[in-house]
Amino acid sequence: MKMNPNQLQQLDPIKKQAEVSATDRGTQYSPLSPPDALTPPSNVKVPYDGLHPYLKLLVDDHNKLKSEMDIFQRVLQELSHNQDVLGKNAKVIDRFFDVFTTEFILHNQQEEKILFPPLAKRFLEIGEHSKSSKPVTPIDILRNEHIEAMQMGAEARCTWKLIQQIIDPSSQTILLGNFLRRSHTLLEMMRLHIFREDDIVFSLAQKHLTPGQLEEMLESSK
């Protein structure tokens, strides 16, 4: 299922884009009011080769995840046609949730522990935040997205387990519909989150953190 950027923005779990406009904040592009999700402007994004090795590691993780997500999405499409929940599709789905609960969650924890605290501090210093009484930085948005994705992932996985235990075909069909909806929502959440990080936040990190800070992050990630 391919979605256009407007649909992606409607799925934004915390709706911060609507709350904090670029005009409010006085900058054209930011993680709080990102540009077109499919065609980011070239002046915002630092290309992969220009990123510090620590940020490259995070992008590499995303690329691995994106391959797993593509495989998962193909199986979801097959499932919506043949409803075969026990055959080879089951193995691919189980594998995706294994990757989700290990690699994706571990990756998020690493970001929250190593990258987010210094970057949040820097965003407050340079004014990369909302003008509300309690300033919202891009990091608040990313943290919330981690939680939302974990929650949606847990719900989708739980529904998947239930489908395999139910024998009644009509109940199974209903559950399968729920599972497909949750899984597609999860994929869109993950894609939007990865886009915000790869195309905007990591570029801002590259521009606004010092080489020493990035080097320390690389050391902490080992």
The contact set with Fe ion (CB under 5 A) reads 111, 197
For residue 140, give every residue at least 6 positions away whose Cβ sits within 8 Å of its Cβ, in sequence order, or none: 16, 120
Residue 69 Cβ, how far from Fe ion at the closest point, in Å? 13
Residue 107 Cβ, how far from Fe ion at the closest point, in Å? 6
- Residue closer to Fe ion (CB basis): 64 or 88: 64
- Residue closer to Fe ion (CB basis): 56 or 94: 56
Residue 8 Cβ, how far from Fe ion at the closest point, in Å? 16
Residue 212 Cβ, how far from Fe ion at the closest point, in Å? 22
- Residue closer to Fe ion (CB basis): 77 or 102: 102
- Residue closer to Fe ion (CB basis): 12 or 197: 197
